[in-house]
Chain A
Amino acid sequence: MSTNNPYGKVAFYPGCALDGLGKSYDVSLRLVAEDLGLKFERLDDYNCCGALEVKNVNTMAGLLLPARNLSLARKIGANAIMSACPGCHYSLSRTQYYMSKYTKVREKVNAYLEKMGEKPYDLQLMTIHAVEYFYNTVGVEGIKAKVKRPLTGLKVAPYYGCLYTRPKPYTLAGYMKLKDDPERPIFMDELLKALGAEVVPFEAKTMCCGGPHVYSDVEVALHLEARILKEARRNGADMLVVDCPLGGVALETNMNKIAEKYGEDLRMPIVYFTQLMAFAFGHSPEEALLTANLTNPMSILKKYL
Chain B
Amino acid sequence: MEKPIIKGVIEKEKVVVDGIELDGTWNAFLVERTQTGYDPSVWDEIANTLEGVTISACWQCGTCTSGCTMREYDPNFGPRKFIDLARKGDKQALAELQDSLWRCVSCQKCTHRCPKGVMVEEVVHAIHNYALKHGLVKKDPGTVFDELFLDTVMKNGGRISELLLGSASAKAGFVTMSLRDLITMSVPLIKSGLIKDLLKPNKVKNWDRIKSVLEEAMKEEVRPE
Contacts and interface: CB of A to CB of B under 8 A. Distances in A.
A48 B117 CA distance: 29
Contacts of B153: 47-48, 50, 54, 65
Interface in B184-214: 184-185, 188-189, 191-192, 194, 197-198, 201-202, 204-207, 209-210, 213-214
A54 B225 contact: no
A211 B147 contact: no
Interface stretch (B22-30, B33-41, B83-91, B137-145): B137-145
A21 B199 CA distance: 11
Contacts of A124: none
B15 interface: no
A114 to B, nearest CB: 9
A162 interface: yes
B49 interface: yes
B105 interface: yes
A256 B184 contact: yes
A-B residue pairs, 10 tightest by C-beta? A292-B192, A47-B158, A208-B107, A216-B141, A167-B111, A53-B149, A166-B108, A162-B107, A215-B174, A53-B146
Interface in A157-195: 162-163, 166-169, 182-183
Given A61-B218, A112-B217, A217-B103, 20 more contacts: A20-B160, A47-B153, A48-B153, A54-B149, A54-B150, A60-B220, A102-B50, A166-B107, A167-B108, A212-B105, A212-B142, A212-B145, A215-B141, A215-B145, A216-B144, A217-B141, A218-B174, A220-B105, A256-B180, A257-B181
Interface residues on B, range: 35 or more
Contacts of A47: 153, 158-159, 204, 207, 210
Contacts, number: 207
Given A102-B225, A256-B181, A256-B184, A61 B201 contact: no
A141 interface: no
B161 interface: yes
Contacts of B50: 59, 98, 102, 105
A73 to B, nearest CB: 15
A211 B161 CA distance: 15
Given A115-B213, A167-B119, A59 B108 contact: no
A2 interface: no
Interface string A41-61: 000011110111111111111
A21 B177 CA distance: 15
18 contacts: A19-B202, A20-B161, A24-B192, A48-B153, A48-B159, A54-B149, A57-B149, A64-B214, A65-B214, A112-B213, A117-B209, A168-B112, A210-B105, A212-B105, A212-B106, A212-B145, A220-B70, A292-B189
Given A20-B161, A215-B174, A256-B180, A104 B223 contact: yes
Given A51-B149, A162-B107, A216-B145, A60 B206 contact: no
B184 A20 contact: no
